[in-house]
Amino acid sequence: MKDHTQTASLFQRLLPGLLLVALSILTPPAVAESDASAPTLEVFRSPDCSCCHRWIEHLRDNGFEVRDNKRSDLAVIKQQLGVPKQLASCHTAKVGNYVIEGHVPANDIRRLLDQRPAVSGLSVPNMPIGSPGMEMGTRRDAYDVLTFDSAGNLDHFNHYPAR
């Protein structure tokens, strides 16, 4: 009977430590979780553009990590990344294998990353008032978020009505 009592007592003393070891092995690190939920955008913009800075803040406010590159050779970058000329805006970004051109809302970028369509990227052409970074009070012009591919094909991705 004494051996059973000693074994039970030893087990009771070791159990909390064993549980901690098991939990640490089975629980993924918090860093991996935050990395997965915070994609990084590499943004290329003119050093003098305030609306680009506001768009970057919109992205950060919505959980994205941003590397802000102030450049004077934006036309070259847009060409290298395959942005169609008719879609060119004031800033260009790269996230994963996708290009983001202009004031694309963060929720559309997340949807792109979740759905992974076979496109080159998203664009909001023409810097519409009310798009992220282009706010003017409560005014919002209607605008579309478009997809584009390497062949220059465009398609509708989302629509924001005027208000």
What mean pLDDT do residues 78-84 have?
97
The one-letter code for the residue type at 116 is: R
Residue 122 has pLDDT above 50, yes or no: yes
- What confidence tier does 75 reach under pLDDT thresholds 50, 70, 90? very high
Per-domain residue ranges for the chain? 1-37, 42-160
Residue 106 has pLDDT above 70, yes or no: yes
Strands 91-95 and 40-45: antiparallel
Whether the pLDDT of residue 116 is over 70: the answer is yes
Range 131-143 average pLDDT:
97
Band the pLDDT of 34: cuts 50, 70, 90.
very low
Q: How far apart are CA 63 and CA 123, in angstroms?
A: 20
Reported pTM: 0.77
Residue 9 burial (C-beta neighbours within 10 Å; 0-12, 13-18, 19+): exposed
pLDDT at 133: 97
Provide CB contacts within 8 A for 41, sequence distance 6+.
59, 64, 65, 66, 67, 93, 94, 95, 100, 109
Above 90 in pLDDT, residue 84? yes
The pLDDT score that the predictor gives to residue 120 is: 99
pLDDT band at 38 (very low <50, low <70, confident <90, very high): confident
3-state secondary structure of 79: helix
